[in-house]
Structure 1
């Protein structure tokens, strides 16, 4: 099959979905039939990485084709500047463009320049609105719930809104996932006669860890990794060890039969309520239930494409903005450089290309240029990634490709005085994962790390201070420094290295 003129694009990404949540990535027990059928027709990137393991910076890269330090969205809740172009502005005028779902790049419910349609589902970021008048507007999903007879349960910036926990506990048909599945399906039906590009962001499986499929999976039957409930190594980054410490200190376990939380229950669905294995597994089961909920909504979208008769002219992408530790290294959520947080699914279904598995490392920074070239569109000169279309056409591996992580801090919503964990989270880190499986995390204010992912895929042995690997550390540090120079990154990285000493040119 040859490429169709002006193919459509359906770009689907989720929030906080780690890679091993479908059969394409080795999970043979989770119920994701729709992601499985999509992967059967897709190019599956075996090792795909985000630009940063946190919401706003990662999605900013996916929407702009720029690194967080370039597009300005270096932490959560920093609005994307008006002068930064997004994906929609790279298409010709005869494309109908739409964004449906969570945005998290500022002014959540306000249509961004370049998009022809905007359909919002979030009312939790009102405090970050750039204009007071924007807070008079509530999301499309809010109005839908009102039409169904529901009453808002939470006050936010002068308006009553629906909290995330409230929405998550609704019957399946009224959840954000099911709602988006229906709305995107309607969009496809309405626009099937003309070229379109739609980006869809599902909130699930992001916390709150609860939903209509809470009881779908038996917690005791969930397979675990070798680092489930295992603390990071003693010489891991302080940010990582503090994450595990924080998880442990939040809860008081009296004994194995009786567990008591010492935290105020601000959100009973944001993670384990105690530090027992039973509780960890209970949260995991609910998380995987959210993945299945989202999978059903993806199925609605795939069915809509088939029903519209446009399967042979529509590229479908599925990925996520970061992962979730899910108890690996003994904590939940993201924010760290571990593979569980930084690696995500990446499926690209191109009707005129054969499906296959592509080895090596892939970065989201390359997604926009790759899709634009696949669609026959011009690639803007300012984008910082490169098109991988030729690699996909020739089935070339990416085993020589290096990827980078760009960490600049957690969020701008800090409460002072900062805890030690929050202080460590604000320290920049730069990371490279090489095509041949070496991983170096550098920081001037934290313990740096070197892992050999080939022999140590779960990052249990930090080799950074082992003088035997000084040459490898320096080799990878030069890669990071060269990447910084190429991309205009001014974050400091170490000038002194174990077994080597001072290295000129690292600043």
Structure 2
């Protein structure tokens, strides 16, 4: 009897020991939006928009209020953003992994802009490959827009979408004249776009994510889900009931609205840029209201799909052991400074929402430190315990989320092709336009809408010199090929 009890006790101890050793790593659910600015979360800073499920995610974990994209080497900002995200490399270093990094359709680059070293390096691995090496089952569906094929590096793929839904001439030809009937409707399914195939792409993505979670609930391996919405990218289409939630007359106009930005052509964001053709020149307040109406509608529609995914995660029994990360590839101007697209250095275009929820993270926590959206990759590698995090330029957000550190990045670097350069600190933002020999300075703390340009005031020369020195250090870190010193100096000699 005693021998039996001892044997049983040893067996119990062994079982407990084995269970401890086999304790599963946390799952990671990454949800990615396209073109979603930081000012598009209802409970944060926009009472006009309804985002109950993103509000719910905010309450579940940590909110990063100052999350940025570093910029782009081409007009398709999402290409650079996603290359950075999936290789873990800073913008100009990531360009060396992309064959599409050479500027396209931009003949007016600065004379001293060297040719990039493009497509000359092969990454040691892409994000899902690093996760797979740590024993994760990897899943992807939605907008990929990375040169390596998704089905080659994920275990399971749903529908893989291209850069954006198809556009129609009618969408670009809209006149936006108040009181006149419109020539294009966001809920007209005959125009295809998000409706191509019969069901809205956001709903298809939601369905497929639910299908994977239904399978994963009986699997003992941890999972890494990468769910990438094309929403709210244009053409911003959604069912009529969502558009009706936002009467156009109730849509507010940005405080920094302009009919046209004075340096838009030199900035590479002028009349011929595809994104900027989505509203006529000069911009009218009504054209911005309609664009924002459709933007809010497709975000609320996407929010409903995110709610379905979060509900399915709860139903799977895996929620308590899952980290959920939400962000977007970049923001969108929609009237900010006269821009409609994202190819500029103002906050609505470079700043995005960011939530991290999961074990050890206090719900409702708000973090104002400056971070990059591409920190999402490093965060997941940290969660997985991957040594590959040492190969990544970006930082894990876990220490900030869990209160183990209070420090983000000292300053944010920004760039767009050879036409724009930017540095942003807690207090100031400085933008350099080489082709215009123009520098702009904003006191972000006291002027968050970036309205009052202080660069021409010599009172701020020392501030700008300090910022420029810091900017040059960031250029080295990200391997920026453009020396903007002469443009910075020329600005002051001219003024």
Q: Distance in 2 between matches of 1:294 and 1:474?
A: 44
**5 Å matches for 1:404-443?**
404-408=413-417, 427-434=418-425, 436-443=426-433
Cα distance between partner residues in 1 of 2:254 and 2:145: 31
Aligned equivalent of 1:187, options 209, 212, 215:
212
SS of residue in 2 equivalent to 1:391:
helix
Aligned to 1:178: 203
Alpha-carbon distance in structure 2 between the residues aligned to 1:449 and 1:237: 13
Superposed displacement of residue 391, structure 1:
2.5
Counterpart residue number, 1:17: 36
Match of 1:246 among 268, 271, 277: 271
* Contact kept? 1:11, 1:198, Cα under 8 Å: yes
Q: Which TM-score applies when normalising by structure 2? A: 0.76
User: Which residue does the alignment assign to 1:106?
Assistant: 147
Instruction: Tell me, yes or no, if the aligned pair for 2:69 and 2:330 is still in contact at 8 Å.
Output: yes
Contact 1:16-1:206 within 8 A present in 2 as well: yes
CA contact (8 A) 1:65 1:368 kept: yes
| Unaligned ranges ≥5, structure 2 | 1-22, 105-115, 167-188
Q: What residue is the counterpart of 2:235 in the other structure?
A: 208
Shift of 1:71: 1.7
Contact 1:209/1:270, CA 8 A, preserved across alignment: no
Supply the distance in 1 between the matched residues of 2:243 and 2:266 (Cα, whole angstroms).
31
Encode CA deviations 1:124-182: one digit per residue, 9 max, x unaligned: 6899xxxxxxxxxxxxxxxxxxxxxxxxxxxxxxxxxxx994043479x8100000001
Deviation of 1:209 (Å): 2.4
Residue number among 186, 191, 194 corresponding to 1:168 in the alignment: 194
Count of aligned pairs:
422
CA distance in 2, matches of 1:363, 1:16: 15
Alignment of 1:30 onto 2:59: no
Q: Does the residue aligned with 1:360 lie in a helix, a strand or coil?
A: strand
- Deviation of residue 452 (structure 1)? 1.2
Quickly say closer, same or farther: Cα 1:456–1:99, change in 2 above 3 A: same
Map 1:116-127 → 2, pairs under 5 A: 116-122=155-161
2:314 matches 1:313: no
Distance 1:487 1:270, change over 3 A: closer
> 1: CA distance between counterparts of 2:50 and 2:256?
24
Q: Which runs of 5 or more structure 1 residues have no equivalent in the other structure?
A: 128-162, 251-265, 409-426, 503-507
Change (3 A) 1:106 1:164: farther
* Higher share in helix: 2
Equivalent residue number for residue 441 of structure 2: 450
**Where in structure 2 are the equivalents of 1:51-70 lying within 5 Å?**
51-52=70-71, 54-70=77-93
- Displacement, 1:466? 2.4
Structure 2 match to 1:115: 154
Tell me whether 1:378 sits opposite 2:387 in the alignment: yes
TM-superposed CA distance for 1:8, in Å, is 0.6
Q: How has the CA–CA distance of structure 1 residues 397 and 76 changed in structure 2, closer, same or farther, with 3 Å as cutoff?
A: farther
CA distance in 2, matches of 1:339, 1:239: 19
Are the counterparts in 1 of residues 259 and 282 from structure 2 also a CA contact under 8 Å? no
Hey, what's the Cα distance between the residues in 1 that align with 2:290 and 2:433? 35
Residue 299 of structure 1 deviates from its aligned partner by: 0.9
Greater Cα shift, 440-449 or 182-191: 440-449
Separation in 2, partners of 1:267, 1:323: 13
2:457 and 2:102 map into 1 onto residues whose CA distance is: 32
1 CA distance for matches of 2:36 and 2:332?
6
> 1:330-377 deviations in whole A, cap 9, x for unaligned?
231110001110010001112321120001211124332233223333
Task: Supply the RMSD in Å over aligned alpha carbons.
Answer: 3.4
The answer as to 2:246 corresponding to 1:217 is yes
Change (3 A) 1:281 1:182: same
Q: Tell me the SS of whatever aligns to 2:472.
A: helix
Greater Rg over alpha carbons, structure: 2
CA pair 278-445 structure 1, distance change in 2 beyond 3 A: closer
State the distance in 1 between where 2:120 and 2:154 align: 15
- Partners in 1 of 2:484 and 2:207 — Cα distance? 47
The answer to whether 1:97 aligns with 2:138 is yes
Q: Confirm or deny: 8 A CA contact 1:170 1:211 kept in the other structure.
A: no
From 225, 234, 239, the equivalent of 1:198 is 225
Distance 1:480 1:469, change over 3 A: same
Matched position secondary structure for 2:391: coil
Secondary structure in structure 2 of the residue aligned to 1:492: coil
Select 2:122's aligned residue among 60, 64, 83: 83
Distance 1:498 1:466, change over 3 A: farther
Using the alignment, how far apart are the partners of 1:50 and 1:17 within structure 2?
Answer: 12
Tell me the TM-score normalized by structure 1: 0.75
Q: Tell whether the 8 Å contact from 1:12 to 1:201 is kept in structure 2 after alignment.
A: yes
Give the Å deviation of 1:468: 1.5
How far does the alpha carbon of each residue in 1:68-121 deviate from its partner, in whole angstroms, 9 at most, with x for none? Answer: 2112244689997882221112122521112211111236xx435432122334
Distance in 2, matches of 1:370 and 1:335, equals 27
Given candidates 345, 351, 357, the residue that maps to 1:349 is 357
Counterpart contact for 2:260–2:282, Cα < 8 Å:
no
Query: Counterpart in 2 of 1:494?
Result: 485
Corresponding residue number in structure 2 for 1:228:
257
Note closer, same or farther for the CA distance 1:14–1:114 as it changes in structure 2 (3 Å cut).
Answer: same
Structure 1 match to 2:337: 329
Q: Does the 8 A contact of 1:8 with 1:197 survive in 2?
A: yes
Matched, 1:284 2:292: yes
Match of residue 401 from structure 2:
392
Structure 1 distance, partners of 2:276, 2:344, is 23
- Decide which of 482, 486, 507 is 2:473's aligned counterpart: 482
Tell me if 1:39 matches 2:78. no
Distance 1:217 1:304 in 2: 28
